[in-house]
Amino acid sequence: MSSKSLQQVCAATAASLSAGREDALAKADDEGYPDWVKAVVWVEHLKGIILHERDEETLRAEVPAIAKGLRELLADVRKEEGFDPDAVVTAFIRCLPEVRARLAEDIEAAFEGDPAAKSFGEIIVAYPSIHAIAIYRLAHELVLLGVPQLPRIVTEHAHARTGIDIHPGARIGRRLFIDHGTGVVIGESSEIGDDVRLYHGVTLGAFSPRRGQTLRGTKRHPTIGDNVTIYPCATILGGETVIGSGSVVNGNAYLTESVPPNSRVIPEAPHQEVRQRSGRETRPGQLHWDI
């Protein structure tokens, strides 16, 4: 292809990409949204301060930097009428000591709940759930303050990093412990009480609607009471589903109805057949395919 032909193709492609002013991508640009990279850098900086920094002199310098970074991110979001960025930044900074106190309880719950934990330091640096929960708790405060988009950006960053998907709109109580964590999904309208323990693969989800926007703002995800343990790969669906306090849900359970307090949910064990190997000889190094 000649350089002239390439130039023509590039020009035609540019013209085509600039069209479609009414499609979803164009609408997103018109709405505006924070820069993903800047948001991730900001929340990782903030998370590090909350988890690790104790020196008051250092904090006197770092906290204003966090406030400035949040104010800059808010400049790129579409604001509803009455939204006051300066008031939001002030309220968010004011809530950080309480967020730190909640995270300290989450770390304590992880230490008490996992016999493999050797120290609190190990939990902070090596447990993916703590990073996911820390970012969730920060993002949830932004949700409560009416901040759009930014809470989802930072929790999706945590999701990508840890494999734990916690929607920032979920309401989660104190001393949450997520053991292992990979594949955990906690939907937007989930409510979780205090002292709850979740294992990997747990889903607190919603039924799949045909017209999703008609259900916006409704209770679509389950409610989990206090002192509930949910073992690996259990699925609990529906906004009217309540798992009563003190209950235990065994692994691989599938629940779409409520469970009274102090219950044990035990799914039927799958049928398994054990066969005796045929004993046929195979050549050294050859796999034995006896299916």
Residue 269, Cα to own-chain centre: how many angstroms?
30
pLDDT at residue number 30: 79
**249 φ/ψ angles, rounded to the nearest 5 degrees:** -110, 115
For CATH 2.160.10.10, list the domain ranges present in the chain: 170-267
| Pairwise CA distance, residues 136 & 149, whole Å | 14
pTM, 2 dp: 0.88
pLDDT means over runs of 10, the chain (291 residues): 83 84 81 91 98 96 97 87 93 98 98 96 96 98 96 98 98 97 97 98 88 76 98 97 98 97 93 77 59 51
Q: Per CATH, the architecture of 170-267 is what?
A: 3 Solenoid (2.160)
CATH 1.10.3130.10 domain position(s) in the chain: 31-164
Strand order in the sheet with 223-224: 171-172, 191-192, 223-224, 242-243
**pLDDT for position 74:** 94
Asked: is 31-164 a CATH 1.10.3130.10 domain? The reply is yes
What is the per-residue pLDDT for 20?
64
* Residue listed under structure tokens 């009455």: 82
Do 228 and 262 form a contact (C-beta atoms < 8 A)? no
DSSP 13: H
